[in-house]
Amino acid sequence: MKTQITELFGIEHPIIQGGMHYVGFAELAAAVSNAGGLGLVTALTQPSPEALAGEIRRCRDMTDKPFGVNLTFLPARNPPDYPGYVRSSMAA
């Protein structure tokens, strides 16, 4: 199937995995990507930016297909290290 989504992301099927806290690990993202969709690693499931970088590397080891990283920005009294998560996702 060819759509604007498949063209934009270089995927086979116009299916994008939602960011799912506590389950959006490399295994799920790679499985979705390997099946032709766009898998997503959920950033805030990881305890730190460094752990996110490791999870992205694990996903790259499991698939040669496109995948993404979901980072949800929520208001919080003590927010996570959002800049660190962004840097880790770009550097991994």
Residue 74 has pLDDT above 90, yes or no: no
Q: Residue 89 and residue 26: Cα distance in Å, rounded? A: 13
What does the pLDDT read at residue 79?
93
Torsion region of 26: left, alpha or beta (phi above 0 gives left; psi -120 to 50 gives alpha)? alpha
Q: Residue 82 and residue 16: Cα distance in Å, rounded? A: 23
Residue 91 has pLDDT above 90, yes or no: no
Evaluate the CA torsion angle 82, 80, 55, 68 in order and state its sign: negative
- pLDDT tens by residue, 15-72: 999 999 999 999 999 999 999 999 999 999 999 999 999 999 999 999 999 999 999 9
Residue 92 has pLDDT above 90, yes or no: no
